[in-house]
Amino acid sequence: MLAGQVGANDTQPFDLKKKMQAMKLAFKQAAESQSVEQMKLPVADLNTLIAKSKNGSYPPEKQEMYMEGFEKLSVALDDVEQHLEQGELNKAKQSLRQIDDLRIEYHDQRNPSIWKKLFG
């Protein structure tokens, strides 16, 4: 289980793929939560992972895109946290959809299809 173990390997070099896998797991745990309290820990883990990802090293041509995506994720998570603080589990889960939409958007930008590369 990831929850609460986000900082366990901080001495390792930055690995975006591992951070993204951890984000996926934390997102899944948040989405499957049955209570506000249960959802708070994976959401906190997501916040920590995003904050650490903002400090990673990226290729210069992708730096701006990554930072923009991480900032949008932070804003979306703030919305989720606000709903959690108000005890609104269903609204928090609805706000999680924004995070999934951002995942789709930025994964497409990071790994464009061969057709997009060929035909713009």
Structure tokens given for 114? 């061969």
pLDDT (tens, 9 = 90+) of the chain, 120 residues, equals 444 445 444 545 578 889 999 999 999 999 999 999 999 999 999 999 999 999 988 888 888 998 999 999 999 999 999 999 999 999 999 999 999 999 888 876 766 555 555 665
Residue ranges per domain, the chain? 18-111
pLDDT at 106: 81
Residue range 18-111 forms a domain whose CATH class is mainly alpha
pTM for this entry: 0.78
79 near 36, Cβ under 8 Å?
A: no
Angle, CA 69 vertex, CA 34 and CA 59 arms, to 5°:
130
Residues 6+ apart with CB under 8 A from 113: none
CA 5 to chain centre: 16
Residues 6+ apart with CB under 8 A from 5: none
pLDDT at 59: 87
